[in-house]
Structure 1
């Protein structure tokens, strides 16, 4: 099964801002977490079994421009790699249609009973982005 791209709208809250008047870097991880939940809920609708448990093994973020309170913010999320026990999830935050932040997260399948890594579904395939259009600046 090919894993679908997802897009998540984010409402910037006043409490997300720092003294400089832009979103504090500490909130970006929360935006990515919310987008990842949206991504996996989308998968859950397509499969018969529950989505496997996973843990975050690695996160790499690059801030490219600031995000302000009144910006229209969306996060695009997709899968760029699926291995036997881990997968790579990519995120891009757009602010008013401009790329603001990128994030690459490695997730590892996790068995809650044995508290150890476990295999991911063998039929999962990376996302196809050929039809994805970046959000507009409107």
Structure 2
């Protein structure tokens, strides 16, 4: 699992007193930086490889200013050229949001997807999500 701690900002707090729902997708993306670095080590947009295909977020509980947030990212599925991430945002140990993001390894010059290289695949496999059954299942 990849983990990032984020300190909520005042500017991200809305009129209802919690972190605005438009902020959480940005936090999820910020926690993906180590994965982006695997595909584009020099961080250049000329060599960028990670193209997003889909994101989904379930908002479970409110997030508040003044308390750090933990963003956790796992690799849920690893295909030939694509990967699906499972992500969670927690505050005070409570699940506040969960989501998924699907990316493809894409060569913008050729305008085609490419196989995920073996060295990247091996690193991503270290972060595979293992679903544990809920009590009673």
Superposition TM-score tier, normalisation by shorter sequence: 0.7 to 0.9
Q: Call closer, same or farther: CA 1:39–1:119 in 2, change over 3 Å.
A: closer
1:34 aligns with 2:6: no
Contact 1:39 1:77 in 2 (8 A): no
What is the SS of the residue equivalent to 1:38? helix
Contact 2:75 2:83 in 1 (8 A): yes
1:88 aligns with 2:69: no
Runs of 4+ with >6 A deviation: none
1:23 aligns with 2:19: yes
CA separation in 1, counterparts of 2:107 and 2:129?
30
2:50 maps to 54
CA separation in 2, counterparts of 1:29 and 1:89?
13
CA separation in 2, counterparts of 1:62 and 1:14?
23
**CA RMSD between the two structures:** 2.2
1:98 aligns with 2:105: no
Between Structure 1 and Structure 2, how many residues are aligned? Answer: 121
CA separation in 2, counterparts of 1:129 and 1:89?
9
Gaps of 5+ in 1: 131-138
Contact 2:2 2:73 in 1 (8 A): yes
The one of 6, 10, 25 aligned to 1:10: 6
Q: Call closer, same or farther: CA 1:11–1:91 in 2, change over 3 Å.
A: same
CA separation in 1, counterparts of 2:99 and 2:128?
18
